[in-house]
Structure 1
Amino acid sequence: MLAWRVHEFGPPEAMILEKIPRPSPGRGEVLVHVHAAGVGPWDGWIRAGKSALPQPLPLTLGSDLSGTIVALGPGISEMGIGDQVFGVTNTQFLGAYAEYAVASAGMLAKKPSSLSYAEAASVPVVAVTAWQGLFEQARLEAGQTVVIHGAAGNVGAYAVQLARRARLRSIATAGTKDIEYVRSLGADKVLDYHTQRFEDEVEDVDAVFDLVGGETQARSFQVLRRGGKLISAVSQPDQQRAKDHGVTAAFFLVNVTSERLRTIGELIDRGELKACIGAVLPLANGRDAHMMLEGRRSAPKGKIVLDVEAADEVTARA
């Protein structure tokens, strides 16, 4: 099978599309015939050797995927061959940029029927991150107010939609060109970070969902009410600063599970959540996708996805 491999960490040029043996699923795992694979910033960190997780070389890149199950490992009872699924491969975030990928069954769920494979592959990590940040980390409830930084990004777009559905009041920050887009997602108020300082416009909010980090995160403490929460999916907040402001602050890593995926999938199929796909590239263009991640090529608004199914058809004809 074809797979995008990294034999040494480095820039996108370090990626090699090569033929490798098809893997076999172990206990609690399934083999997925990959139809599409999502491309995210974490893939770039792994490729460059900047992941916080140990990543032995050589490795196959990619975690987000959608496809059909073609083999079951021992201990699998709730899934069957032929099931259409979406989710991620494993806790190492590896293996999806390939025609076949082994995935943990506990990190997959039935593909939303209303989505194409490409759309489904764009969802898992970013949508679950938004869900966890708002409802499991910040524990927000209807009527409360949240500031969402980076609202036009892939996680932010889901956070804005989920906030609206949960009847939260959302104040979103975005760049000038993205104001109308974020407003269309359902934000109650959108601030242009190019021309407005959010701390001059906002005060006493229940939570800040930080998807930007850096100075934006540091300035966010002053807009929280006493007892409020700063939740970051980007970097660890300053605990002394949190104490000084009388708030709690936490960084979290996404934990994609079948249960969370099922919740997201049901919302999508009910029309309450819209997938935000930006570009679909052939598997052979995986290096180009990573150049988009790094800003070396123009990046779309929305998630980048690799169409693996087309590559599989080419391989079959060869």
Structure 2
Amino acid sequence: MLAWRVHEFGAPQVMIFERLPRPDPGQGDVLIHVHAAGVGPWDGWIRAGKSALPQPLPLTLGSDLSGTVAALGSGISDLAVGDQVFGVTNTQFLGAYAEYALASAAMLAMKPSSLSYAEAASVPVVAVTAWQALFEHARLEAGQTVVIHGAAGNVGAYAVQLARRARLRSIATAGAKDIEYVRSLGADKVLDYHTQRFEEEVKAADAVLDLVGGETQMRSFQVLRPGGKLISAVSQPDQGRAKHYGVTATFFLVEVTTERLRTIADLIDLGELKTCVGVVLPLTDARDAHMMLEGRRSRPKGKIVLNVEVADEPTAPA
């Protein structure tokens, strides 16, 4: 099989498209014939050696995927060969940029029937991140107010839609060109972060979902009510600042599970969540996808996805 490998950490040029033996599934593992693989910023961090997790070399990049079950390891009773599935490979977030990938059965679910493979591969990490932030970490309930930073991004777009469905009042921040898009997703109020200081517009929010970090995160403490929650998916908040404002502040890493994926899949098939794929590239162009991640090539709005159904022979690094 063909796969994108990294033998040394660095820029996208370190990625090598090479032939590997097809892996065999062990206990609890599923061998997936990959049809599509999602590309996310965490893939770039892993490639560059900046992952929050130890990543021994060499490695195969990629985590989000969709495809068909090719073989089952022992101890799996709820999947069968030929099933159409989506999810994440493993807790290391490795292995999906390949024609075949091993995935933990506990991180897979049946693909939403209303989605193509490319659309399904765009969903797992970002949608589950939004779900966990709102309902498991912030524990928000109908009628409460949440501020969503980076609302036009891949996680933010799901967070806005999930907030609308849960009857939360959402105040979103986005750039001017994205305001109508975010409003169309169901945000109650959208602020242009270029021209409006959100801390002057928002008071006593129940929670802030931080998908930006940096100065935006620091300024967010003052918009929370006492006892409010700042939930970040990008960086560890300042605990001294949280104490000063009388709020809690948490950073979390997403945990993709079969149960969470099933919840998301059901909402998609009911028409309550919309996906947004920005571009679909062939597997051979994975290096170009990473150039887009880094802003070295133009990046469309929405998720970058690799079509793995047809792969060519390895090419020399650019």
Tell me, yes or no, whether TM beats 0.5: yes
1:92-140 residue CA offsets vs partner (Å, 9 max, x unmatched): 0000000000000000000000000000000000000000000000000
User: How much is the aligned-residue C-alpha RMSD, in angstroms?
Assistant: 0.6
> Where does residue 168 of structure 1 map in the other structure?
168
Provide the rounded CA distance (Å) in 2 between the counterparts of 1:24 and 1:131: 32
1:12-45 residue CA offsets vs partner (Å, 9 max, x unmatched): 0000001111111110001000000000000000
Q: What TM-score do you get using the length of structure 1 for normalisation?
A: 0.98
1:80 aligns with 2:80: yes
The 5 A counterparts of 1:57-76 are 57-76=57-76
Q: How many residues align?
A: 313
**Residue identity in the other structure for 1:284:** T
**Residue identity in the other structure for 1:11:** A
1:177 aligns with 2:177: yes
Secondary structure (helix, strand or coil) at the match of 1:160 reads: helix
> Where does residue 154 of structure 1 map in the other structure?
154
1:231 aligns with 2:231: yes
Secondary structure (helix, strand or coil) at the match of 2:310 reads: helix
**Residue identity in the other structure for 1:164:** R
1:115 aligns with 2:112: no
> Where does residue 250 of structure 1 map in the other structure?
250
> Where does residue 307 of structure 2 map in the other structure?
307
Provide the rounded CA distance (Å) in 1 between the counterparts of 2:141 and 2:277: 28
Provide the rounded CA distance (Å) in 1 between the counterparts of 2:121 and 2:18: 22
Q: Which runs of 5+ in 1 are unaligned?
A: none
**Residue identity in the other structure for 2:54:** P
Provide the rounded CA distance (Å) in 1 between the counterparts of 2:60 and 2:170: 38
The 5 A counterparts of 1:1-318 are 1-311=1-311
Q: What TM-score do you get using the length of structure 2 for normalisation?
A: 0.98
Displacement of 1:144 after TM fit?
0.3
Runs of 4+ in 1 over 2 A off after TM superposition: none
Provide the rounded CA distance (Å) in 2 between the counterparts of 1:206 and 1:277: 31
**Residue identity in the other structure for 1:202:** V
**Residue identity in the other structure for 1:210:** D
Secondary structure (helix, strand or coil) at the match of 2:50 reads: coil
Provide the rounded CA distance (Å) in 2 between the counterparts of 1:177 and 1:14: 34
Displacement of 1:310 after TM fit?
2.0
Provide the rounded CA distance (Å) in 1 between the counterparts of 2:310 and 2:70: 18
**Residue identity in the other structure for 2:228:** G
Provide the rounded CA distance (Å) in 1 between the counterparts of 2:27 and 2:294: 36
1:216-255 residue CA offsets vs partner (Å, 9 max, x unmatched): 0000000000010000000011111111111111000000
Identity rate, percent: 84
Provide the rounded CA distance (Å) in 2 between the counterparts of 1:277 and 1:271: 16
Displacement of 1:276 after TM fit?
1.3
**Residue identity in the other structure for 1:261:** L
**Residue identity in the other structure for 1:197:** R
Secondary structure (helix, strand or coil) at the match of 2:217 reads: helix
Secondary structure (helix, strand or coil) at the match of 2:242 reads: helix
Displacement of 1:52 after TM fit?
1.2
> Where does residue 316 of structure 2 map in the other structure?
none
Provide the rounded CA distance (Å) in 2 between the counterparts of 1:7 and 1:301: 30
